[in-house]
Structure 1
Amino acid sequence: MATPPNPARLPPNQPPATPLLDRVRVPADLKNFSAEQLKQIADELRAETIHAVSQTGGHLGASLGVVELTVAIHAVFDTPKDRLLWDVGHQAYPHKILTGRRDRIRTLRQGGGLSGFTRRSESEYDPFGAAHSSTSISAGLGMAVARDLKRLSGKNAAGYRDDRNVIAVIGDGAMSAGMAYEAMNNAGAMKSRLIVVLNDNDMSIAPPVGAMSAYLSRLISSRPFLSLREVMAKVARRFPAPLERAARRADEFARGMLTGGTLFEELGFYYVGPIDGHNMDHLLPLLRNLRDAEEGAPILLHVVTRKGKGYAPAEASADKYHAVSKFNVVTGDQAKAPPGPPTYTKVFAQSLIAEAEQDDRIVAVTAAMPSGTGLDAFGKRFPKRTFDVGIAEQHAVTFAAGMATEGMKPFVAIYSTFLQRAYDQVVHDVALQKLPVRFALDRAGLVGADGATHAGAYDIAYLGCLPDMVLMASADELELAHMVATAAAHDAGPVALRFPRGEGFGLEPVPARGTVLEIGKGRVLREGSKVAILSYGARLQECLRAAEDLAARGLPCTVADARFAKPLDTALVERLAREHEVLITIEEGSVCGFGALVMQHLAWKGAFDTGLKFRPMTLPDAFIDHDSPKAQYETAGLSARSIVATALATLGEAAGLQPARA
């Protein structure tokens, strides 16, 4: 067998030699290789993954941890007929390489390139799109039940396979979400054939694994053992009910003592494991056993892996290179952007720390995103006042609501896109009870390489319809500091402040502690008489550039920063409508958001009866693919150029520019 490539010994830009991997075009090709050759393919696949991500950036650590598991599953099962689901999808880079997308893997997360997550429209090998966590078991169960219903209806003659397997690979972090347990509870009760692979990394929820554990796992997953177990179960069913229950409990207890799977057994799964997820000699025979098992209870296979496996810089890193920028393969050094303004996330964290220094009732809550939301810095300063509840956004919101009832001041820091997962809790547990929970919505607006799944496009609309909810959006990093202070001071009910991903505008100085703003009051930055632009959020600088362009064309322009969507600064809105021929609203959110709130107020005031020309500019009513943020906002029609074009088209001016909306 050839010596596997060592990516750390390669020149930074030279792809690794992959002689066996080069022979794999689709997963079916893996069936032509021996177990020893599959081990080499795994080594080559790891090297290829490292090199590809060094060119593009992305989620590296999770993908490195599942290389052997990916090869083994595709070698044993018959994908895409067998359905393979990857929870979250950020661990699926090796899967993409093996499923006909290797020639595009270096376009990962780039405009027009491969998605960083699984995506149905991208490949038949991605049966379910995933970028948010903990969905795989629910979706997999749905596929398994659909298979069973088709079989019962006799449709298999039309091409449906009776023996199709459904395999869901879920990480241990994703198992902290309630949805995963809801799905397991349902699956255990329904008894549809489903294989769940628990990829246990970092959390170390399993005892040490080794040869004995692997042997026991193979034994209890083998057909003879399963057949014997079924025979004994039939015998036990002839016993009186108390004895039958005792026999069943004895079986579960015995296997639980050997394997540690009692929790999953209680949920109705047949538990197998733990097993070394990097040992092909253990994985291959065990997966074959599961593939060939008779109908019965759903199965949970517990594999233990190492995030960042096989790449020393990742293994040594605290986050195992979970998400990386472009990097040098030899040294592991990641590309660093030139020094620039602080990020919004950093400004939020520093501002929250400043408020917490003055008020010991302030606490911070996050759902498995301490570094992404800046709360890792808050946690270092106030470890006992920082709560990471895991991937459990619903719990995070209601947990914060409970603290608010006792006089604490909880800040729930969650990406805008992830708060969608806890909407009922926001409505029922916070808004309905008028509890002063503060929501800090990071990644508001478009987010670049993570694409549509992570875009914070909907929070203005889904929060704006809630009574008594105060909504703020920061136009820049200075405003963000003021809005953190405002949220900390507001005790009359819930408040949400949104801010984008990335760096601020370099406005100096960011105050050590923000100034409390008057709730529901905006500000005017530039006065004009022809066109009014009312901005909500971080497009304000684009609005000012558009105003300069319009003024140069002889069209004086007013620019205002709304600051608040709720309560709306109605006096400001009415003045802009009264004193200008055209009023344009700008927001980094979907339709039915800030512009809709402004339009509703003006309609009731009769402003449109006087001939006002109103144009709401929002994100388009479409999902915007991954690209650079600048390109995304050009596509969305929210650049200065698009604002100018919209103003000119509304006025009927000849300009040679196209309006942002038809």
Structure 2
Amino acid sequence: MRYGLLDRDDLPSMLGSLTKEQLDELCGEIRQFLLDHVSQTGGHLASNLGVVELTIALHRCFDTSRDRLLFDVGHQCYTHKILTGRKDAFGQLRQFGGISGFLKPSESIHDACITGHASSSISVAQGMAHARTLLGEDYSVVAVIGDGALSGGMAYEALNSAGASKEPLIVVLNDNNMSIDKNVGAMSRHLQHLRVQPEYIRMKQDVKQVLDRSRVGERAANWISRSKRAVKSMVLQCSMFEQMGFTYLGPVDGHDVLAICDLLQIAKDMKKPVLIHVKTKKGKGYSYAEQQPNKYHGVSKFNIATGQPLKKAVTNFSTEFGKELVRLAKTNPKICAITAAMPSGTGLGTFSQLYPQRFFDVGIAEEHAVAMTAGMAKQGLRPVCALYSTFLQRAYDQLIHDVAIDHVPIVLGIDRAGIVGEDGATHNGVFDVGFLRQIPGMTLLAPSSYAELRGMLRSAVQHTDGPIALRYPRGGEGAYTEDHWQGQAAVCLREGTDVALVSYGIMINEALQAAELLEAHGVSTAVYKINILTAAFSDEFLRQVSQCGRVAVIEDVMHAGGVGQALAETLALQQIQMNWIRLFHTDSSFAPQGAVRQIYEYYHLDGNAVAKTCLEAIQHEKEETGRSSI
């Protein structure tokens, strides 16, 4: 499809010469391009539709091959990618081997840093600004952060530090009153009250330039400054950002390219910390996304005309988790639910509607969520905190300091555990097993089916012996739909004498498939499923595994700290002789983006690869035995 201005070869250098009418035309073309492509690949839609004008303004005012432009989280960077030479790659957006849905410096010099998690952009930007000054270089540093990301505490640590440093830095606050679900908290209310007109800022700059030319002017400027502060304190609500050391500009219409450019240029000339408040509409230009921005934040393939997904939505571990928690809450008034800006993503939407007094969305603040959960549990409630695995990483200190040391009985629902697919390295939940198994007193459960998820959650809310967590994947259950929980640390799903396959969670499906393939080649294969990942291996379990003489552990996490490493270590320490041990995991690298099945194949975690590796090991063993007998 041809797009006119968007197809020109001189993007983004030609942006500065476009008229207002041409800029409006280009914005329309980009929105159509986004709809045409995201509807075919899936991705972040509403957030990108909302920042088209803002991104064009940024590229009109800055050279991102030199100037450093950081998009917080990065799920609003598609227009930036289009303008920096990656338009033709959008057919492979978020696909295996294609371009990332987030900023990725290995992709382009225009991407200043890796992104994927919220609230870190201002910290990184301040570091870049300090480096620029210390190295005597000359470029601008701009961080674009949404009001949702501004609910994260790290953003305020950075604002406080950056404002005090007086280092030239521009922070663009993209205020659409949304993160993924609707924003919550005092910060959201504060932004609704900030009103400083751009014309006032421009006039102040012009007057200052005139007065600076004379000594009389200098005295007058000092008097005006004192008078201004007095008047402002009477008639304007003081901006928190100004108290932190930033000059506040705005709010400005985030869908007026030239108006945004005016403020960007003013901020650039100030040579100090400046925050520009930009008001945008999430989902702008696509009626379905404007009406339901949370639904169209992250989308799968969909029909543009109807807004409906091409594949019918089915139940998944998140929704089953939410349903069971609602059932439990009906009979237990002490059960509460906590999440960090992800009520719909963690399956807690219905809970929030039925029990609003017992539901707490703390915004993008995982550290606070876990610590608050600990406080609730300490005082007798049964709080259940549901977070994505990749975001739980941020609360590691709270898990140790506020939870584990005092043996506080909180319940964690760890969503999106393991490989998540198209969002790539920043979102895969491959670290939780390693870091949770290190925490004394932590109990970590791994359901492999919806039935086991329900049973384990019922057990968890009754558990009072320290913290307990359930880790479950993104998406639905596989061929395994049975229930082998009943409080057992490990169970044998099928018996065998030649090879023992050990796995847990959703990966049990790959183990069972591998067992079928091995049996077809005459290899008697046992399959053991681990339910409690933090439990010590029992003598009986070790005896059963060792009888096979060969063991393979399959898990979709990093090697270090995993169950496979722990089993190999235990067998070695107890001097249990094995013919061989094979560990299947995500290696020690960051997993690439792509469909989950593709990532399994990439790491040889799929049933076919496991069976093939085991057969090769058995064949090699036979060859070695034959040579040694000659």
TM-score (norm 1): 0.87
Judged with a 3 Å threshold, the aligned counterparts in structure 2 of structure 1 residues 43 and 226 are, in CA distance, closer, same or farther, namely: farther
Distance, in Å, in 2 between the alignment partners of 1:611 and 1:18 is 64
Distance change in 2, residues 1:209/1:264 (3 Å): closer
> 1:458 and 2:440 equivalent?
no
Task: State the alpha-carbon separation in 1 of the partners of residues 97 and 597 from structure 2.
Answer: 14
- Alignment of structure 1 residues 66-105 onto 2, 5 Å: 66-105=51-90
Listed as ranges, the matches of 1:474-493 within 5 Å are 474-493=447-466
Q: Which amino acid aligns with 1:623?
A: F
Which moves more between the two structures, 31-40 or 195-204?
31-40
Q: 1:127 Cα deviation (Å)?
A: 0.7
Matches within 5 A, 1:292-371: 292-293=269-270, 295=271, 297-317=272-292, 319=294, 321-337=296-312, 342-371=315-344
DSSP-derived class of the 1:559 partner: strand
| Cross-structure match for 1:624 | 591
1:111–1:626: 8 Å Cα contact kept in structure 2?
yes
Shift of 1:18: 2.6
Tell whether 2:489 aligns with 1:521.
Answer: yes
Amino-acid identity (%): 42
Given the alignment of the two structures, is residue 39 of structure 1 paired with residue 6 of structure 2, yes or no? no
Give CA-to-partner distance per residue, 1:242-276, whole Å, 9 cap, x none. Answer: xx9xx978655645677655200111111111111
From 32, 35, 42, the equivalent of 1:57 is 42
**Conserved in 2, the CA contact under 8 Å of 1:259 and 1:273?**
no
Match of 2:523 among 550, 555, 564: 555
Query: Does structure 2 conserve the Cα–Cα contact (< 8 Å) formed by 1:470 and 1:567?
Result: yes
Unaligned runs of 5+ in 1: 1-14, 152-160, 656-662
| C-alpha distance in 2 between matches for 1:282 and 1:357 | 53
Question: Where in structure 2 are the equivalents of 1:435-514 lying within 5 Å?
Answer: 435-505=408-478
Distance 1:86 1:230 in 2: 39
> Cα distance, 1:137 vs. partner?
0.4
2:628 matched residue in structure 1? none
Q: Which residue of 2 aligns with 1:389?
A: 362
Counterpart in 1 of 2:625? Answer: none
Q: 1:254 to 1:627 in 2, by over 3 A?
A: farther
Deviations along 1:418-458, whole A, 9 cap, x unmatched? 00011111111111111011111111111111111110000
- Alignment-mate amino acid for residue 68 of structure 1: E
For 2:529, the aligned partner's letter is D
Q: Does 1:603 align with 2:576?
A: no
* CA 38–583 in structure 1, closer or farther in 2 if over 3 Å, else same: same
CA contact (8 A) 1:489 1:516 kept: no
Q: Which residue of 2 aligns with 1:642?
A: 609
Pick closer, same or farther for the CA change 1:300–1:473 going to 2, 3 Å. Answer: same
CA shift for structure 1 position 31:
2.1
- Residue 270 in 1 paired to residue 270 in 2? no
The Cα offsets for residues 138-161 of structure 1, whole Å up to 9 and x where unpaired, read as 11101100000001xxxxxxxxx4
**8 A Cα contact 2:249 2:263, kept in partner:** no
- How far 1:226 sits from its partner (Å)? 7.1
Q: Deviations over 1:317-353 (max 9, x none)?
A: 252621112222233222223x75x311111111212
Structure 2 Cα separation of the partners of residues 613 and 262 of structure 1: 65
Change in 2 beyond 3 A, CA 1:549/1:207: closer
- In structure 1, C-alpha distance between the alignment counterparts of 2:331 and 2:208, rounded to whole Å: 64
Residue type at the aligned position of 2:86: R
Q: 2:382 aligns with which of 409, 412, 428?
A: 409
* Secondary structure at 1:558 match in 2: strand
- Following the alignment from structure 2 to structure 1, what is the Cα–Cα distance between the partners of residues 511 and 408? 35
Deviates more, 1:320-329 or 1:639-648: 320-329
Partner of 1:280: 257
Q: What is the distance in 1 between the residues matched to 2:460 and 2:213?
A: 61
Residues 227/464 of structure 1: CA separation in 2 closer, same or farther (3 Å cut): farther
Q: Is the 8 A contact 1:471 1:566 kept in 2?
A: yes
1:125, CA displacement in angstroms? 0.8
Report matched runs for 1:86-165 at 5 Å: 86-151=71-136, 161-162=137-138, 164-165=139-140
CA contact (8 A) 2:41 2:93 kept: yes
Matched residue type, 1:74 = H
- CA distance in 1: counterparts of 2:216 and 2:238, whole angstroms: 19
Q: Could you give the per-residue CA deviations for residues 283-325 of structure 1, whole angstroms, max 9, x where no partner exists?
A: 22222222233x3x30000011110111111112252621112
**2: CA distance, partners of 1:102 / 1:491:** 54
Contact 2:212 2:218 survives alignment (8 Å): no
- Match of 1:300, SS state, is strand
Q: Aligned pair count?
A: 612
Q: Does 1:582 align with 2:534?
A: no
Change (3 A) 1:82 1:563: same
Answer yes or no: is 1:216 the counterpart of 2:184. no
Structure 1 residues 41, 594: CA separation in 2 closer, same or farther (over 3 Å shift)?
same
Which structure 2 residue ranges, 5 or more long, are not aligned?
178-182, 623-630
Q: Is the 8 A contact 1:537 1:588 kept in 2?
A: no
Question: C-alpha distance in 1, partners of 2:301/2:230?
Answer: 49
1:420 aligned residue (393, 401, 407): 393
* Alpha carbons 1:165, 1:291 under 8 Å: kept: yes
Q: State the 1:282 CA deviation.
A: 1.6
Q: Secondary structure at the match of 1:564?
A: coil
Matched with 1:156 is: none
Q: Deviations over 1:22-50 (max 9, x none)?
A: 22543222123233322322222222222
TM-score normalised by structure 2 residue count: 0.91
- Give the counterpart letter for 2:294 in structure 1: D
Distance 1:208 1:429, change over 3 A: closer
1:410 is paired with a residue of what secondary structure?
A: strand
For residues 486 and 212 of structure 2, what CA distance do their matches in structure 1 show? 69
Letter in 2 for 1:538: I
CA distance in structure 2 between the partners assigned to 1:249 and 1:371 by the alignment: 49
Map Cα deviations across residues 151-208 of structure 1 (whole Å, 9 max, x no partner).
1xxxxxxxxx42x111100000000000000001110111110000000002565458
Deviation at 1:517, TM superposition (A): 3.4
Q: Indicate yes or no: 2:492 matched with 1:534.
A: no
Distance in structure 2 (CA, Å) of the matches to 1:531 and 1:596: 18
Question: Aligned partners of 1:103 and 1:568: how far apart in 2?
Answer: 52
Q: Of 600, 605, 614, which aligns to 2:581?
A: 614
**1:591 maps to which of 559, 576, 586:** 559
In the alignment, the residues of structure 1 paired with residue 64 and residue 435 of structure 2 have an alpha-carbon distance, to the nearest angstrom, of 39
Task: Go from structure 1 to structure 2 and tell me whether the alpha carbon gap of 1:506 and 1:554 turns closer, same or farther (over 3 Å shift).
Answer: closer
Query: Pairwise CA RMSD of aligned residues?
Result: 2.8
Counterpart of 1:633 in structure 2 is 600
| Preserved CA contact (<8 Å) 1:60 1:323 | yes
Which residue does 1:200 correspond to in 2?
175
Query: Counterparts of 1:227 and 1:561 in 2: how far apart (Å)?
Result: 77
Residues 229, 21 of structure 1: alpha-carbon distance in 2 compared, 3 angstrom cutoff: farther
SS at match of 2:319: helix
**For the Cα contact (< 8 Å) 1:136–1:169, is it kept in 2?**
yes
Q: Partners in 2 of 1:400 and 1:230 — Cα distance?
A: 59
| Matched AA of 1:30 | L
Amino acid at match of 1:545: Q
Residue 290 of structure 1 is aligned with which of 250, 267, 281? 267
2:295 and 2:208 mapped to 1: Cα distance? 38
Q: Quote the residue 1:6 is aligned against.
A: none
* Whole-Å separation in 2 of the counterparts to 1:402 and 1:276: 42
CA distance in 1, matches of 2:61, 2:216: 29
